[in-house]
Amino acid sequence: MAVVRLASVSMVYRVDELSGEFGSRGGGGSMAGLQAPLAGSRVWTKICGLTDVSSAEVVAAAGPSAVGLNFYSRSARFVSDQQAARIAAVIPRSIFKIGVFVNEPWPEVVRRIGQIGLDGVQFHGDETVEYVAEFQRECPQVPVIQAFRRTAAGIGPLISRVQRCRDLGVSLAACLIDAWDASAYGGTGQTLPWRELGLELQTSELPPVVLAGGLNPLNIAEAIRDVRPFGVDVASGVESSPGIKDAARVRQLVERVAQSPARVC
């Protein structure tokens, strides 16, 4: 999918207003038919790392596009299947539920999709393209967000991976770009060099880009302005402690995203 750049009109893909939806909603493996752009829509917003029902209710009240449930056992935001099911039960249907997985056997991912009612998955570990292809053969209707941790080398490895996906017939709904950390797969609060990343993305043909890494209510507008992503993903930046969402911070972030220029890459 080519990067969309229109000088006269800012265009963005609004997931929850397009025909087709995630996963069991008939998404066809993509983030709700991203070929149909709508002018003047807000940047897609995912609040990740919910760990309890109270936090889930706080986040749902703010009205993000999606929430993330982390099934990586070594994460501070890990949730068991039972916790995830309780959280999913209080999330409105209008908010998409994304399961975050790190090097999990894909049959276990498939099981949780059905058991918990996930609308999409995010692979945030060292999963190979062949792994994603095998998963997608089993679950062709479930959108896949592929995470990439950017190093000082830039996004060249991501571009190569996306091409490899295309060669194998893998359809990625989005690429999530996070900051590299040798000791963790994500959720570290480290930011990316936004202007540099924005310039890289201008000349790259990638699936829709979701920006992550150290985002919070104070820097979200600057990050969106510099990168112009399809969406943003926030965890630690709206927390009072790992996994515990702060109501005021969540509301402030969602409001500031809504006020930001609607651009997409």
Query: Which tens digits make up the pLDDT trace of 24-66?
Result: 444 445 555 333 333 346 799 999 999 999 999 999 999 999 9
pLDDT value, residue 242 = 82
Question: Using 50, 70 and 90 to split pLDDT, how confident is the model at 150?
Answer: confident
Give the pLDDT score at 31: 55
Residue 200 inside a domain? The answer is yes
Give the pLDDT of residue 23: 39
Q: Render 207-229 in DSSP notation, one character per residue.
A: SPEEE-SS--TTTHHHHHHHH--
Mean pLDDT value across residues 152-171: 90
- Which contiguous run of DSSP H or E holds residue 238? none
pLDDT at 54: 93
* 174: in domain: yes
What pLDDT, on the 0 to 100 scale, is given for residue 167? 94
Q: What is the mean pLDDT of residues 75-96?
A: 96
CB 165 within 8 A of CB 129: yes
pLDDT level of residue 91 (50, 70, 90 thresholds): very high
Q: How far apart are CA 57 and CA 47, in angstroms?
A: 12
4 domain residue, yes or no = no
The answer to whether position 247 is within a domain reads: yes
Give the pTM.
0.83
pLDDT beyond 50 at 193: yes
Structural domain count of the chain: 1
Angle between helix 129-138 and 156-167 (nearest 10): 40
Whether residue 137 has pLDDT greater than 70: yes
Residue-level pLDDT at 29: 58
Statement: residue 186 has pLDDT above 50: yes
d(CA 225, CA 239): 23
Averaged pLDDT, 177-188: 65
Confirm whether 244 is domain-assigned: yes
pLDDT tops 90 at residue 187: no
Domain that holds residue 84: 30-259
Task: List the single range of 28-37, 84-93, 208-217, 256-265 with lowest mean pLDDT.
Answer: 28-37
For residues 8 and 82, the model is more confident at 82
Is 10 within the bounds of a domain?
no
Report yes or no: 146 and 176 within 8 Å, Cβ to Cβ: yes
CATH at 58: 3.20.20.70
Q: What is the mean pLDDT of residues 127-133?
A: 95
pLDDT value at residue 190: 78
Structure-token pair, residue 44: 């897609």
Which residues belong to the active site? 48, 178
Do the domain assignments include residue 264?
no
- Mention every residue, 6+ apart, whose C-beta is less than 8 A from residue 82: none
Q: How many residues make up the chain in this entry? A: 265
What mean pLDDT do residues 210-234 have? 95
Is 149 contained in some domain? yes
